[in-house]
Amino acid sequence: MFYIDSTVDEHGAALDASILENVAARMPCFLLIPEEHTEKHCAYSAPFQSFLFHGDIGTAKDVFYVYPNAFRVNMVNDVNSEKLAAARQQLGAAVTHGDVLIVHGD
């Protein structure tokens, strides 16, 4: 698993998904987790989400129409217990669909 920080070009746009396509083709056993992404990144990676900072719950339903096997990696630690408890059912449903919940270690 590789979290890829700051996946933007000099203008702040997400890097072209073809870059991750190339890496994934050369290293198929690696899970690539780009911080910034477009929908197309779901074809070659598991884009990063942050429940902690953005309240992200899971992979958007419309993504599955294009990429039925898509999933995202969602950081959930350091969230207050009330917020986490309120979203528990939704986060659980996202995991059932294939999303991965992660925490960072300090």
- Per-domain boundaries in the chain: 2-102
CB burial class (10 A; 0-12, 13-18, 19+) of residue 36? middle
Query: What is the pLDDT, as a whole number, of residue 60?
Result: 92
Q: What spatial distance separates the first Cα and last Cα of the chain, rounded to whole Å?
A: 17
Please give the mean pLDDT across all residues of the chain: 94
Summarize the confidence of residues 35-50 as an average pLDDT: 95
| CA 95/CA 50 separation, integer angstroms | 14
Query: What is the pLDDT, as a whole number, of residue 97?
Result: 94
Percent of the chain whose predicted confidence (pLDDT) is above 90 = 87
| CA 55/CA 68 separation, integer angstroms | 23
CA 32 to chain centre: 9
> Is 93 a residue whose pLDDT tops 80?
yes
